[in-house]
Chains A and B, each alone.
Chain A
Amino acid sequence: MMDRYSLLEKIGLYIAIAIFLTFVLLPFFEMFMTSLRPLDHLRSAPYKFWSDEFSFDAYSNMWVTVPKLGRYIFNGVFIAGAVTVLAMIFVVPAAYAFARFEFKGKAVTLSLFLAVNMFAGAVLLIPLYRVLRTLGLLNTYFAMIIPGAAFLVPMGIWLLKSYLEKIPKELEEAAYVDGASKMYTLRRVMLPLAAPGLVVVGVSVFIGAYAQQYLFAITFNQNSDYMPLPAGVFEFIGYQDVVWNEMMAASLVGVLPVMLIFLFMQRFLIAGLTAGAIKE
């Protein structure tokens, strides 16, 4: 255990963490405060930190203002989830191959993947649009899922590859010597050991998918039935007014399912699962 910090170091650490958390969480806090305020408060100076007029009304009114809000929230999670599943189907075998096998062009393909990641999705929007139109996929879920997955596969491969490389090769060799087939070894040895890595990669892909779907949604999809939340919240921008409090309320409610998934996943992220595999 390496937790031998002096008191001073500990205080410093906690201050650093506090500053960091403030930066990360302050927007959420402000979102929450905004969602409680009546609309006319937003333009009134001076800024009121607390007021008796605060209420949770926005949380019920938003469903009326934007009737398809529930659908949007579902779409957001559904698209990100589908992207994750699709991407992982490609990531797992590819990462395994890159981690374990030697083949011609391995280094080249790996750096190509990295290069692809450097292209912002935006650069490729026009060509992608044409591809999707040719395939007749515009205005479908696929228009958001397929490009979403394609952009995240390279990152997933890189992440999972480095995780798989840390699993000692001898474990597979031992299984091989004991007569286990490749599939049995994958199922009984590799995947259980890779579980924390799979969760980390899965979660990263999911976050990436959730964040990037906005771009694909507004370019490749006009059907409001398929809109994910990040694009859907635009409906709170009316002709005259922006219903800020309800927009913030909707955004917060929209991230809620994602938060819950994360809380649930966290228990898989325990470190040290490979302890005792080999002598270090």
Chain B
Amino acid sequence: MATLNLKNINKSFGATQVLFDIDLAINDKEFVVFVGPSGCGKSTLLRIISGLEMATDGQIIIDGDDVSEAHPVERGISMVFQSYALYPHLTVYENIAFPLRVQKKTKEEIHAGVMEAARILKLEERLQFKPGALSGGQRQRVAIGRSIVRKPKIFLFDEPLSNLDAALRGDMRVELSKLHRDLDATMVYVTHDQIEAMTMADRIVVLNGGRVEQFDTPMALYHTPNTKFVASFIGQPSMNFIDAEVTGLNGGLEVTLEGNVPMVLPVDTTDAAVGDRVEVGIRPEHVFYAPGAGVLNITVDILERLGGVSMTYGGVAGCEKFCAALDGEAPISEGHVVPLGVNPEDCHVFTKNGIALKRQKLPALV
């Protein structure tokens, strides 16, 4: 059992506040990922959970106990650092054994603990090496090994894969997900790589400027982002936004996109009024090549044929850098104007303040 509740966490360094009123309830055995742009406070929040940093205000509650003032070990957490933070003068064995030695475990207990961690992380062959003689992926595994020997209730990871090459990162991603399943522990994972976030998380916390933008499952973030920030942050390539004006509220939101394109979008219209300026969000993967029935006309600047898809970049009315993921075989070419279609159900609408109007026709998965 390990639930983690953050209550109203605020953090300031001197006069600058970096975290604002963070409230989160993380369930037992959940894999939660913090994402957000650089400097948004992900590491700081993780360090506050770990006990390395004290919150200026607010409470940290683990399994119902207020541990705001407790030592990391009493909190039952362990942490894998953004840098590996391995002890370079100690062997892999001693690095992994370090937390057990601190706890004054017997020789046998230490040996058993280290060997088990080494087995899980496939480090048996490397136990007598120093960290300097290991590859990046192996170092990362040693760092993880050091965090699992103590059998903590909550694992904290701060961008553990950010320095590995793409292929290795993919492997480690799978291994970490497996580790989560095998250890049955609660994990909090920081990254600014949204693929890591989408693939590993049970739920994702999107942070922006020290505030929680949204805390939800990956699919919910993708299909029902609460704000324009989340909409543009989640999804690769990013969502396109086109300025529009509300022209009516009958049977959905009637809008006229820049370039005089009328559309009726199935979203909640409670907070909308005729004449409002809004932004319509369209994901690149939701537009398609539509000869004769185009809603948007894109002037193709760059065309990248990737096989399955043709990434098409160019301008449409109201959006100079529009990106469309079209069919791999779409008969289009650079320099031409191409008609694109989009289903109204797939569109997102954001007010001028960046708040989403609730979509009303959602895919079955959400």
Kindly identify which residue among B78, B86, B163 contacts A276, using a CB–CB cutoff of 8 Å. Answer: B86
* Count: A-B pairs, CB below 8 Å: 85
Judge whether B98 and A175 touch: CB under 8 Å.
yes
Q: Are A179 and B103 in contact (CB under 8 A)?
A: yes
Verify A276–B72 contact, CB threshold 8 A.
Answer: no
Q: Hey, which chain B residues are within 8 Å of A279, CB to CB? A: 83-84, 136, 139, 163
Contact B132 A171 (CB under 8 A): no
Q: Which residues, 162 to 206 on A, are CB-close (under 8 Å) to B?
A: 168, 170-171, 173-180, 184, 188-189, 192-193
Do A170 and B85 touch across chains, with their CB atoms under 8 A apart? yes
Measured between beta carbons, the chain A residues less than 8 angstroms from B78 are 177-178
Query: Which residue on chain B has the smallest CB distance to residue A181?
Result: B102
Contacts of A263 in B (CB 8 A): none
Chain A interface bracket (under 10, 10 to 19, 20 to 34, 35 or more): 20 to 34
Q: A276 near B102 (CB under 8 angstroms)?
A: no
Q: Chain B CB within 10 Å — which of A176, A184, A277 has the most?
A: A277
Asked whether A170 lies within 8 Å of B88 as measured between CB atoms, the reply is: no
Whether B81 pairs with A277 at a CB distance below 8 angstroms is: no
The answer to whether B150 has its CB under 8 Å from any CB of chain A is yes
Answer whether residue A278 sits at the interface, using C-beta atoms and an 8 A cutoff.
yes
A273 within 8 A of B: yes
Find B131's partner among A176, A192, A193, A277 (CB 8 Å cutoff).
A277
Question: Is the pair A176, B52 in contact by a Cβ cutoff of 8 Å?
Answer: yes
Mark interface residues in B75-87 (1 if CB within 8 Å of A CB, else 0).
Answer: 0011101111111
B132 near A276 with CB under 8 A, answer yes
B72 closest partner in A (C-beta): A177
> Are the CB atoms of A278 and B72 closer together than 8 Å?
no
B211 proximal to A (CB < 8 A): no
Inside 8 A of B133's CB, which chain A residues have their CB?
276
Size of interface on B: residues with Cβ below 8 Å to A: 32
Q: Is the CB of A278 within 8 A of B98?
A: no
B71 surroundings in chain A (CB, below 8 A)? 179
**A238 sits at the interface (CB 8 A):** no
A contact residues around B88 at 8 Å (CB): 193, 273-277
- Contact check, A179 vs B102: say whether CB atoms are below 8 A apart: yes
A187 to chain B, nearest CB (A): 12
A212 CB, min distance to chain B CBs, angstroms: 34
Quick check: A276 and B146 within 8 Å, CB to CB? no
A170 engages B81 (CB within 8 Å): yes
B72 touching A174 by the CB < 8 A rule?
A: no
| CA–CA, A170 and B139, complex, Å | 15
Of residues B77, B79, B82, B83, which shows the largest number of chain A Cβ atoms within 10 Å of its Cβ?
A: B83
Flag if A192 contacts B89 (CB, 8 Å). yes
Contact B139 A276 (CB under 8 A): yes
Is B50 an interface position by the 8 A CB rule?
Answer: yes
Interface string of B241-278 (1 = CB under 8 A from A): 00000000000000000000000000000000000000
Query: By CB atoms of chain B within 10 A, which of A171, A174, A176 has the most?
Result: A174
CB <8 Å contact, A276 and B130: yes
Pairwise interchain contact B84-A278, C-beta atoms closer than 8 A: yes
What is the CA–CA distance of A274 and B131 in the complex, to the nearest angstrom?
9
Interface contact B83-A178, CB-CB below 8 Å: no
Confirm or deny: B339 has a beta carbon within 8 angstroms of a beta carbon on chain A: no
Task: Name the one of A168, A178, A275 contacting B98, with C-beta atoms under 8 angstroms.
Answer: A178
User: Is the CB of B318 closer than 8 A to any CB of chain A?
Assistant: no
Assembled-state Cα–Cα distance A278/B99 (Å): 18
Mark contacts of A237-280 with chain B using CB atoms, 8 A cut-off: 1 yes-contact digit, 0 otherwise: 00000000000000000000000000000000000111111110
Enumerate chain B residues within 8 angstroms of A189, measured Cβ to Cβ: 87
Residue B319 at the A interface, CB < 8 A? Answer: no
Question: Looking across the interface, which residue of chain B has its beta carbon closest to that of A173?
Answer: B52
Given contacts A193-B89, A272-B132, A273-B89, contact A177 B83 (CB under 8 A): no
Does B36 touch A at the CB level, under 8 Å?
no
- A277 x B85 contact (CB < 8 A): yes
Nearest-Cβ distance from residue A198 to partner chain B, whole angstroms: 13
Interface residue? B134 (CB, 8 A): yes
- In angstroms, Cα B77 to Cα A35, docked, is 69
**Shortest CB distance A228–B (Å):** 37
For window 111-167 of A, CB contacts with B under 8 Å fall at: none
Tell me if B102 and A174 are in contact (CB < 8 A).
Answer: no
Residue of A nearest to B98 (CB): A178
- Chain A hits for B81, CB < 8 A: 170, 173-174, 278
Within 8 A of A (CB), among B79-111: 79, 81-89, 98-99, 102-103
Task: Give the docked Cα–Cα distance between A188 and B139 (Å).
Answer: 20
Q: How far is the CB of A149 from chain B (nearest CB, A)?
A: 29
Q: Please report the C-alpha to C-alpha distance between residue A180 and residue B73 in the assembled complex, in whole angstroms.
A: 10
> Is there an interface contact between A177 and B86, defined as CB atoms closer than 8 Å?
no
Q: Mark A34-57, 1 if CB is under 8 A from B, else 0.
A: 000000000000000000000000
Specify which chain A residues have a CB less than 8 angstroms from the CB of B82 in the assembled complex: 170
| Cα distance A173–B156 in the bound complex, in angstroms | 13
Residues of chain B contacted by A273 (CB below 8 angstroms): 88-89
Q: Which residues of A contact B52 (CB under 8 A)?
A: 173, 176-177
Of chain A, the residue at the smallest CB distance from B131 is A276
Q: Does B51 contact A (CB under 8 A)?
A: yes
Query: Could you tell me the distance in whole angstroms from the C-beta of A41 to the nearest C-beta in chain B?
Result: 55
Q: Are B79 and A174 in contact (CB under 8 A)?
A: yes
Interface flags, B43-78, vs A, CB<8A=1, else 0: 000000011100000000000000000011100011
For window 36-91 of chain A, which residues contact chain B by CB distance below 8 Å?
Answer: none
Which A-B residue pairs are the 7 nearest by beta carbons? A276-B132, A278-B83, A276-B131, A170-B85, A179-B73, A275-B132, A178-B99
- A/B interface sample: 16 pairs, CB < 8 A: A170-B81, A174-B87, A176-B52, A177-B50, A177-B51, A177-B52, A178-B99, A178-B146, A179-B71, A179-B73, A184-B102, A193-B88, A275-B88, A276-B86, A278-B83, A279-B136
Additional A-B contacts beyond A175-B98, A279-B136 (12; CB < 8 A): A168-B83, A168-B85, A173-B85, A177-B51, A179-B72, A179-B99, A179-B103, A273-B88, A276-B88, A276-B132, A277-B83, A277-B84
